[in-house]
Amino acid sequence: MSNKIFKDLKLPKESPLYPKMSDGVCGAIRDIMQEAMSTGNNKIFIRTNLKYGLPLENINKIAGPFVEAWAFEKFEEISDKVGNKYGLVNVEPGKRLDAYDMVLQFKLKSIDDYVSANVDSKSTSEDIVTSGKSPNITSFARIRNEYLDESKLYFSYPVVKA
């Protein structure tokens, strides 16, 4: 391999607070999802008149938009409560073809600044053994490029099993 390849490799410039901010954001998102699951507030009801139900192949393409909408509503519900325990202060939807589905803004107690996290929701199926086991290479490549341009970005991938 040529040294030129490594010479041209673009490296991100992280702030010293990046690990602390990332841990805070990921922890808050994890806690929000865990509370929704432990309280039973994680159900999405979809009714259909199909006699045999839906085929499981690529069920994520059907479940994904439902999971994304549920997650957005859950985050928005929490952000509407001023002073909530998660420090979630704002939620914005992503635009079509963005590398993320929504942007969450936190005011973390341990940091004297606001932190925004770009969230890309993913769905898998518990009925398919290999579902959710491989990363979405396209998503990671797009995110890495955005991160190189703006190293203060935080990306989170909450994966919800259907």
Residue ranges of domains in the chain? 16-161
Q: Distances from the Cα of 132 to the Cαs of 53, 58, 87, 106, 135, in angstroms?
A: 22, 11, 29, 28, 7
What does each C-alpha distance from 144 to 29, 92, 116 come to in angstroms? 21, 21, 17
Query: Would you state the pLDDT for residue 119?
Result: 85
Between 113 and 49, the higher pLDDT residue: 49
Confidence of residue 31 (pLDDT cuts 50, 70, 90): very high
- Give the contacts of 124 (CB within 8 A, at least 6 positions apart): 60, 131, 132, 159, 160, 161, 162
Percentage above 90 pLDDT, the chain: 27
Mean of pLDDT over the chain: 79
For residue 72, name the pLDDT band (cuts at 50, 70, 90): very high
d(CA 95, CA 108): 26
Which stretches of 102-136 are DSSP H helices?
none
Average pLDDT over residues 116-138: 67
pLDDT over 70, % of the chain: 68
> Looking at the predicted structure, is the pLDDT value of residue 77 above 90?
yes
Q: Name the CA radius of gyration of the chain, rounded.
A: 18
Q: Is 70 exceeded by the pLDDT of residue 29?
A: yes
Distance from chain centroid for Cα 63: 15
Does residue 5 carry a pLDDT above 70? no
- Strand 88-93 and strand 155-156: pairing? unpaired
